[in-house]
Structure 1
Amino acid sequence: MNNELFDALSQLEKEKGISKETLIDAIEAALITAYKKNFGSAQNVKVTINRDNGSVKVYSRKEVVENVENELFEISLEDAKKIDPNYEVEDIVEKEVTPRNFGRIAAQTAKQVVVQRIREAERNVIFEEYVNRESEIVTGIVQRISKGTVYINLGKIEAVLLANEQIQGEIYKHGVRLKTYIVEVKKTTKGPQIVVSRTHPGLVKRLFELEVPEIHDGTVEIKGVSREAGSRTKIAVYSSDPNIDPVGACVGQRGARVQNIVDELRGEKIDIIKYDEDPAKFISNSLSPSKVLKAVINDTSNDKSALVVVPDYQLSLAIGKEGQNARLAAKLTGWKIDIKSESQYEGSLEA
């Protein structure tokens, strides 16, 4: 190997941040394998690369012993002393065994190692970039769809949108720009894998952070999100500033802000709920768009439940289609909610 290789290694150290010494150590280790493979040798060997002139040398290594049991790995003390009288038992005797044409093999091996390490370094850079972006939104372009999995081009890497992270009924077409939520970034043998989601409640939360400046700057706080992706989401918002209407800030002028989010989620309905420290008020708010006449709280150590009374004509609205409104409200508040119409409630009191 020549000095051009060392110049290239020095350049890589500057550009890719790969230590020159680490690369040389890796090349030496690869050359040991290459030597054994190409020359059918099973003996212990050491490969050294001269840092000044790039010359490569191979040395066999044998341990000095009293009685030789394996000639590939051992040398008798008697024979060792013929080489150098200072050798003692357990010393290692090294002898140069560099093949005549080993320089060509060394050059090929070095190139392979360098290419591999560059690839690993680039993968590590991408991994480090995205592992710190877990729970964030990324925008990409649908690249391809294979066996139900959607692959999204993020620029440097593809993200994977698995079937269980896709919104039911949502159609993903090639070339369409899509916002997704990073669920997990993991290392694989093929490089970093970025798993994204369209169904995660965090996607809605991040979309509101992008769309509503008051959330981004902390004036308005998101207290919770409950979601049935593709159908409906409830999001609880709060502001410690009495002059700020948290719901109004999220809705935006003429509903522009929330409409942008609804459009991004392909028409998913969004209920923006005002959070309240008082559980009765929060539970009442969470059942929006239904009106609540009364909420009775049962807060014991074993049971966090609430009885909610709504007007007779709004019972089905409060419960929602297939119980969805009540289910999302319960998930959002963390309370079990029993909904009764006004007449049902009055009947139970009379009974």
Structure 2
Amino acid sequence: MSQEVLKALKVLEEDKGVKKEVVIDALIQALKAAYKKHYGQNQNVDVVFDEETGEVHVYQIKEVVDHVFDNQLEVSIEDAQGINKGYELGDQIKFEVTPKNFGRLAAQSAKQVILQKLREEERSAVFQEYANYEHEVMQGFVQREDSKYVYVNLGKVEGVMGKTDQIPGEHYEPFQRLKVYVSSVENTTKGPRIVVSRTSPELVKRLFEQEVPEIYKGTIEIVSIAREPGDRSKIAVKSNDPNVPAVGTTVGQRGQRVQNIVDELHGENMDIIEWQKDPIDFIANALKPAEVIAVQFLADDENSCLVIVPDDQLSLAIGKKGQNARLAAKLTGYKIDINPESDVEFTDDEDSNSVE
């Protein structure tokens, strides 16, 4: 048993990177518990593991006292000085109590501890590997589905995708390949728990980074995203290079770059609009494809505005079930009310907020 344990410790340290001292400490604690379980809990014991031979020795520790009340924990001063005249009251004396059959118990404990450490190390290695993918996009395939989650095989682990992270109307079939956003990676006692999403706006952002090199490099920047998963997203982009058009580059030749993302999200529409520093122009862009005549900010609420559109553009500006206006508000961060031109009388100040 001794040599087997030493070999196992060496393998753990050299192949798995688990320090020998960590395993030995865990083994000692396990052997203490095992000894007390078989030979009495009311003891103060110490276990010594010989790293050269692999042998295990158990010692019962007793305190030197005047009068013994518990012979499991105490030894009289007379008996102590019979062993060594130098002992005094309060000293701690170790008595070896290693049972004859303790080797078998030690072997069982060593096996359990080493296997446990192996499992912990494997879980830790997997966690460290997948922690690098937190807030990134990974490709996997659907493994299975139950009433709560869709389980996505990501290689060494399964990602869990809850109901709120599943795109409405999207059906998941076994072995179906799909890209997911890794929302979080947690290290649990049962191993890494990876939460993935198909509904996060960050999924759209990461997909554009993969598809558009200029976005990945930072030449074009995604300023904000408003998304209603499975239906429509609005993405505001700006260029950090005057020679690179933000919208055209993002859309790609003949719209191919955007189309690749639409295909990945199974038909979710993408509106790419140009971010503007001037909030009036930004709000007007956000409401495209509708035409905007003017944007008026309310005096009592700087985060709210009134948008004026031609009468024949009202339904387009609002969108089906209010979606266009709702996404524009999310994208810009402003509360937007939309009125047709025929309902508004312009003053000189209001006319100054017109969109050119």
TM-score by length of 1: 0.94
1:109 corresponding residue in structure 2: 109
Distance in 2 between residues matched to 1:113 and 1:90, nearest whole Å: 35
| Alpha-carbon distance, 1:187 to partner | 2.1
1:69 corresponding residue in structure 2: 69
| Alpha-carbon distance, 1:40 to partner | 4.1
User: Does the 8 A contact of 2:8 with 2:114 survive in 1?
Assistant: no
User: Does the 8 A contact of 1:279 with 1:297 survive in 2?
Assistant: no
Alignment deviations for residues 301-325 of structure 1 (CA, whole Å, 9 cap, x no partner): x532222111211111111122111
Instruction: Give, as a single letter, the amino acid of the residue that structure 2 aligns with 1:164.
Output: T
1:89 aligns with 2:86: no
1:308 corresponding residue in structure 2: 307
Alignment deviations for residues 258-307 of structure 1 (CA, whole Å, 9 cap, x no partner): 1111111111111111001011010000011211122223477x532222
Distance in 2 between residues matched to 1:299 and 1:95, nearest whole Å: 87
2:78 corresponding residue in structure 1: 78
1:122 aligns with 2:122: yes
**Secondary structure at the counterpart of residue 303 of structure 1:** strand
- Larger mean CA deviation between 258-267 and 60-69 belongs to 60-69
User: Does the 8 A contact of 1:225 with 1:236 survive in 2?
Assistant: yes
Distance in 2 between residues matched to 1:299 and 1:342, nearest whole Å: 20
**Secondary structure at the counterpart of residue 224 of structure 1:** strand
| Alpha-carbon distance, 1:34 to partner | 1.5
User: Does the 8 A contact of 1:137 with 1:203 survive in 2?
Assistant: yes
**Secondary structure at the counterpart of residue 230 of structure 2:** coil
Alignment deviations for residues 136-172 of structure 1 (CA, whole Å, 9 cap, x no partner): 1111111111223111111111111111211111111
1:250 corresponding residue in structure 2: 250
1:323 aligns with 2:322: yes
1:207 aligns with 2:207: yes
| Alpha-carbon distance, 1:348 to partner | 9.8
Dislocated runs of 4+, deviation >4 Å: none
1:5-20 to 2 correspondences below 5 Å: 5-20=5-20
**Secondary structure at the counterpart of residue 344 of structure 2:** helix
**Secondary structure at the counterpart of residue 6 of structure 1:** helix
1:159 corresponding residue in structure 2: 159
- Larger mean CA deviation between 325-334 and 32-41 belongs to 32-41
1:134 corresponding residue in structure 2: 134
User: Does the 8 A contact of 1:137 with 1:180 survive in 2?
Assistant: yes
How many residue pairs end up in the alignment?
348
Distance in 2 between residues matched to 1:299 and 1:270, nearest whole Å: 33
User: Does the 8 A contact of 1:307 with 1:339 survive in 2?
Assistant: yes
Distance in 2 between residues matched to 1:41 and 1:343, nearest whole Å: 89
1:174 aligns with 2:166: no
Alignment deviations for residues 62-100 of structure 1 (CA, whole Å, 9 cap, x no partner): 122233333322222222222222222222111111111
2:351 corresponding residue in structure 1: none
Instruction: Give, as a single letter, the amino acid of the residue that structure 2 aligns with 1:310.
Output: V
Distance in 1 between residues matched to 2:89 and 2:331, nearest whole Å: 75
Q: Given the superposition, is the C-alpha separation of residues 299 and 335 from structure 1 closer, same or farther in structure 2, using an over 3 Å criterion?
A: farther
- Larger mean CA deviation between 130-139 and 47-56 belongs to 130-139
